[in-house]
Amino acid sequence: VANVAGAAVREALAGLLAGLAPQATVEWFASTPRRAGLANGYRNPTQLGCDRFAAAIGARALAPGRQLIVANCGTATTVDGVSAAGVFVGGMILPGLGLMASALARNTAQLPQVAPGAVPSSPFADNTDDAILAGILSAQAGAIERAWRRHGAVECIISGGAAAYIAPMLAPPPGGGALRHVDNIVMIGLHAVLRAEDGMC
């Protein structure tokens, strides 16, 4: 089980699983120095969120031996680098689309709350709702593109609930690069761990 929702959620999950399958052993997935062929380059490997570690493992499983950027776009957006040699090199965490939109609505006097919808056709919107959407989408895309360029990645793998809105905004760096939109990159990573360690799948 992978959990980044905090101790209370972990405790609730543990109780639920114990009630449903009292004989079962539950393994809590955590970041370690090395797992499933990926070395964790974090200064303190256990500090890395298990979702980011699993996403990086999943990306490496999909594109082994390639220099990668992994963007996971949910409540927060994480943008991480994986080297061709199989090292998680680190990354960045920024507010996701919803948090950015909520921050503008909550902390300004006259801006409305908007929900991600159709990608605006122009970054120069002619109404406030589209201007907010264009701004938050451009901020997300800009962070991903900057990381993609700085890391020299040949492929960017994007996933998460907001990926469908952000992916159309992305442009590969000069010299090219592949963009791949996949569902559930964290689950792909957890499955790769099972295959590598238990031979179960």
- What's the mean pLDDT in 150-159? 96
Closest CA to 135 of 174, 164, 95: 95
What are residue 88's DSSP bridge partners? 40, 82
The DSSP line for 134-161 is HHHHHHHHHHHHHHHHHHT-SEEEEEST
Tell me the pLDDT band of 1, cut-offs 50, 70 and 90.
Answer: confident
Q: CA torsion angle for 87, 32, 195, 61 (degrees, to 10)? A: -20
Per-residue burial over 36-66, b if 16 or more Cβ lie within 10 Å, else e, is: bebbbbbeebeebbbbbbbbbbbbbbbbeeb
As a whole-number percent, the residues of the chain with pLDDT over 70 amount to 98
Identify the active-site residue in 51, 130, 183, 198.
51
**Domain spans of the chain, in order of start:** 31-197
- Name the average pLDDT for the chain: 92
Confidence of residue 120 (pLDDT cuts 50, 70, 90): confident
Strand partners, 179: 156
CATH fourth-level superfamily of 31-197: ATPase, nucleotide binding domain (3.30.420.40)
Q: What percent of the chain has a predicted confidence (pLDDT) above 90?
A: 77
Whether 201 shows a pLDDT value over 50: the answer reads no
pLDDT at residue 199 above 70?
no
Q: Which residues contact 72 (CB under 8 A, 6 or more apart)?
A: 51, 52, 55, 78, 80, 158, 159, 160, 185, 186
Is 130 an annotated catalytic residue? no
Q: Using CA atoms, how far apart are residues 94 and 143, in angstroms rounded to an integer?
A: 9
What is the pLDDT confidence band of residue 5, given thresholds at 50, 70 and 90? low
Radius of gyration from C-alpha coordinates of the chain:
18
Output the DSSP codes for 8-62.
Answer: HHHHHHHHHHHHH-TTPPPP-----SEETTEEE-SSSGGGS-HHHHHHHHHHHHH
